[in-house]
Amino acid sequence: MAGGLRPIVIILCGPVAVGKSSIARRLRELLPDSRVISTDAFKRRVYRRLMNELYRSLGEYRYIILDGTFYRKAWRDRVREIVGHRGRVLTILLKAPLELCLKRNAERSKPIPEEAVHIIWSEFQWPLDADLEIETDRCDAEEAVKLILRHIEGLDEGE
């Protein structure tokens, strides 16, 4: 990890098909010394395995981008516990109307069953403490990435 700076862990959370993975990939391209850990990489015990990867990655990367719905508050809290005083956690809430998420999901090469999208939506524990909220129905992935990078620049200046 460059310069001994504390890592910044970026939680990209939001409903299915809101644009998290596209934004995560682009952030990884633009942020040096970064890694994306996506729930899409795991088949079972998704959040347990993601947390294990996060733990192993702390101290190895300047930026760790977590790509998942994180629709349960307990999962976001667990990230904060793992990171503790060793780094900063930045919660980015990505939002779009349910109808748009359903449409985007249906257009994917491997869509999630529509019933699952509805369940996640209805059980979503929306973060009240998000560092940044972005409505992806009002801006594209590139604009969302610019907003996130501006926010990160402010954090980096405070180091």
Which structural domain, as residue segments, surrounds residue 138?
A: 2-153
Distances (CA, A) of 100 to 1, 5, 108, 154: 38, 39, 13, 31
Q: CATH number of the domain that 94 lies in?
A: 3.40.50.300
Strand 8-13 with 132-135, pairing: unpaired
**3-state SS track over 64-130:** EEEECCCCCHHHHHHHHHHHHHHCEEEEEEEECCHHHHHHHHHHCCCCCCHHHHHHHHHHCCCCCCC
pLDDT digits (tens, 9 = 90+) for 127-146: 999 999 999 999 999 999 99
Q: For the chain, what is the mean pLDDT?
A: 93
Q: What are phi and psi of 133, to 5 degrees?
A: -115, 130
Number of structural domains the chain divides into? 1
pLDDT digits 0-9 by tens, 40-55: 888 889 999 999 999 9
**Mean pLDDT computed over 105-132:** 94
The answer as to whether 74 is a domain residue is yes
Does residue 55 sit within a domain? yes
Residue 158 within a domain: no
Say if residue 156's pLDDT is above 90: no
| Rounded (10°) angle between helices 98-107 and 114-123 | 150
Query: Does a structural domain hold residue 159?
Result: no
pLDDT at 13 over 90: yes
